[in-house]
Amino acid sequence: MNLRIPGPTPCPPEVLAATAREMVDHRGPEFGSALKRVSSGLKEAFRTANDVLILTASGTGGLETAVVNTLSPGDEVLAVSIGNFGDRFASIAKTYGADVTKLAFPAGQAADLAAIDEALGKNSRVKAVLVTHNETSTGVTNPLQQIAEIVRRHDALILVDAVSSMSSIPCDVDAWDLDVVVSGSQKGWMVPPGLAFVSFSPRAWQANESARMPRFYLDARKAKESLEKNQTPWTPAVSLVFGMEVALDMLEAEGWANVYARHQRCADLARQGAQRLGLKLLADPAFASNTVTAVWSPEGVNVSELRKILREQYDTVVGGGQGDLTGKIFRIGHLGLVHEADVQAAIDALAQALPKAGYAPVAAARG
Amino acid sequence: MNLRIPGPTPCPPEVLAATAREMVDHRGPEFGSALKRVSSGLKEAFRTANDVLILTASGTGGLETAVVNTLSPGDEVLAVSIGNFGDRFASIAKTYGADVTKLAFPAGQAADLAAIDEALGKNSRVKAVLVTHNETSTGVTNPLQQIAEIVRRHDALILVDAVSSMSSIPCDVDAWDLDVVVSGSQKGWMVPPGLAFVSFSPRAWQANESARMPRFYLDARKAKESLEKNQTPWTPAVSLVFGMEVALDMLEAEGWANVYARHQRCADLARQGAQRLGLKLLADPAFASNTVTAVWSPEGVNVSELRKILREQYDTVVGGGQGDLTGKIFRIGHLGLVHEADVQAAIDALAQALPKAGYAPVAAARG
Q: What is the pLDDT of residue A330?
A: 98
Over residues B208-237, mean pLDDT: 98
Omega of the bond prior to A8 within 30 degrees of 0, cis? yes
The verdict on a CB contact (< 8 Å) between B25 and A97 is no
Over residues B241-256, mean pLDDT: 98
* pLDDT (tens digit per residue) in B175-194: 999 999 999 999 999 999 99
Q: How many CB atoms lie within 10 A of CB A39?
A: 18
Task: Return the closest-CA partner of residue B259 out of B177, B329, B170.
Answer: B170
Minimal Cα distance from A337: which residue of B? Answer: B23
Q: What is the pLDDT of residue B367?
A: 46
| Alpha-carbon gap: A118 to the closest alpha carbon of chain B (Å) | 30
What are residue A74's phi and psi, to 5 degrees?
Answer: 95, -15
The verdict on a CB contact (< 8 Å) between A23 and B10 is yes
| Alpha-carbon gap: A62 to the closest alpha carbon of chain B (Å) | 9
- Find chain B residues with C-beta within 8 A of A214's C-beta: 95-97, 213-214
| Alpha-carbon gap: A304 to the closest alpha carbon of chain B (Å) | 12
Q: Where are the alpha helices (DSSP H) in chain A?
A: 13-19, 29-46, 59-68, 84-95, 113-122, 144-153, 202-210, 220-227, 238-254, 256-276, 303-314, 340-356
Burial of A260 (0-12, 13-18, 19+ CB in 10 A): middle
Minimal Cα distance from A31: which residue of B? Answer: B8
- ipTM comes to 0.97
| Alpha-carbon gap: A297 to the closest alpha carbon of chain B (Å) | 19
In sequence order, what DSSP letters do the residues of B211-239 get, joined into one string? --S--STT-HHHHHHHHTTT--SS---HH
The verdict on a CB contact (< 8 Å) between A194 and B193 is no
Q: What is the pLDDT of residue A367?
A: 46
> Using an 8 Å Cβ cutoff, are A182 and A58 in contact?
no
Which pTM was predicted?
A: 0.97
Q: How many CB atoms lie within 10 A of CB A364?
A: 10
Q: Where are the alpha helices (DSSP H) in B123-179?
A: 144-153
Closest Cβ–Cβ partner in B8, B11, B96 for A214: B96
**Distance (Å, whole) CA A289 – CA A215:** 33
Minimal Cα distance from B26: which residue of A? Answer: A8
CB pairs under 8 A between A and B: 176
* pLDDT (tens digit per residue) in B260-278: 999 999 999 999 999 999 9
Q: What is the pLDDT of residue B36?
A: 98
Q: Apex CA A287: angle with CA A282 and CA A291, to 5°?
A: 80
Residue of A235, A240, A242, A246 to mutate, testing the B interface (most B Cβ within 10 Å of its Cβ): A235
Task: Return the closest-CA partner of residue B158 out of B170, B140, B145.
Answer: B145
Q: How many CB atoms lie within 10 A of CB B285?
A: 8
> Using an 8 Å Cβ cutoff, are B310 and B284 in contact?
no
**Distance (Å, whole) CA B21 – CA B187:** 22
Over residues B231-259, mean pLDDT: 98
On whether any CB of chain B is under 8 Å from the CB of A102, the answer is: no
**Distance (Å, whole) CA B85 – CA B41:** 26
Q: How many CB atoms lie within 10 A of CB A43?
A: 17
| Alpha-carbon gap: A114 to the closest alpha carbon of chain B (Å) | 31
On whether any CB of chain B is under 8 Å from the CB of A303, the answer is: no
**Distance (Å, whole) CA A161 – CA A79:** 11
> Using an 8 Å Cβ cutoff, are A241 and A29 in contact?
no
- Find chain B residues with C-beta within 8 A of A213's C-beta: 214
- Find chain A residues with C-beta within 8 A of B96's C-beta: 214, 216
On whether any CB of chain A is under 8 Å from the CB of B194, the answer is: yes
On whether any CB of chain B is under 8 Å from the CB of A98, the answer is: no
Minimal Cα distance from A91: which residue of B? Answer: B216
Residues of chain A with pLDDT under 50: 364, 367
**Distance (Å, whole) CA B209 – CA B200:** 13
CA A298 to chain centre: 27
Residue of A1, A23, A246 to mutate, testing the B interface (most B Cβ within 10 Å of its Cβ): A23
- Distances in Å between the Cα of B314 and the Cα atoms of A264, B2, B269, B280 are 51, 9, 19, 22
On whether any CB of chain A is under 8 Å from the CB of B336, the answer is: no
Pairing of strands B99-104, B76-81: parallel
| Alpha-carbon gap: A261 to the closest alpha carbon of chain B (Å) | 24
- Per-residue buried b or exposed e for A86-118, using 16+ beta carbons within 10 Å of the residue's own CB: bbbbbbbbbbbbbebebbebebbbbbeeeebbe
Q: What is the pLDDT of residue A4?
A: 98
On whether any CB of chain A is under 8 Å from the CB of B193, the answer is: yes
> Using an 8 Å Cβ cutoff, are A179 and A171 in contact?
no
Task: Return the closest-CA partner of residue A95 out of A123, A127, A63.
Answer: A63
The verdict on a CB contact (< 8 Å) between B61 and A58 is no
The verdict on a CB contact (< 8 Å) between A217 and B58 is yes
* B72 pLDDT higher than 90: yes
Residues 212-241 of A with CB under 8 A from B: 213-218, 233-240
Burial of A202 (0-12, 13-18, 19+ CB in 10 A): exposed
- Distances in Å between the Cα of B225 and the Cα atoms of A61, A279, B231 are 18, 35, 9
> Using an 8 Å Cβ cutoff, are A168 and A263 in contact?
yes
The verdict on a CB contact (< 8 Å) between A216 and B56 is no
Amino acid at residue number B306:
L
Q: What is the pLDDT of residue A361?
A: 79
Task: Return the closest-CA partner of residue B115 out of B96, B131, B137, B91.
Answer: B131
> Using an 8 Å Cβ cutoff, are A47 and A171 in contact?
yes
pLDDT band (50, 70, 90) for residue B360: confident
Q: What is the pLDDT of residue A363?
A: 58
Residues 140-159 of B with CB under 8 A from A: none
* pLDDT (tens digit per residue) in A281-303: 999 999 999 999 999 999 999 99
Over residues B30-42, mean pLDDT: 98
Q: What is the pLDDT of residue B366?
A: 52
Q: How many CB atoms lie within 10 A of CB B95?
A: 18
Over residues B303-329, mean pLDDT: 97
The verdict on a CB contact (< 8 Å) between B21 and A17 is no
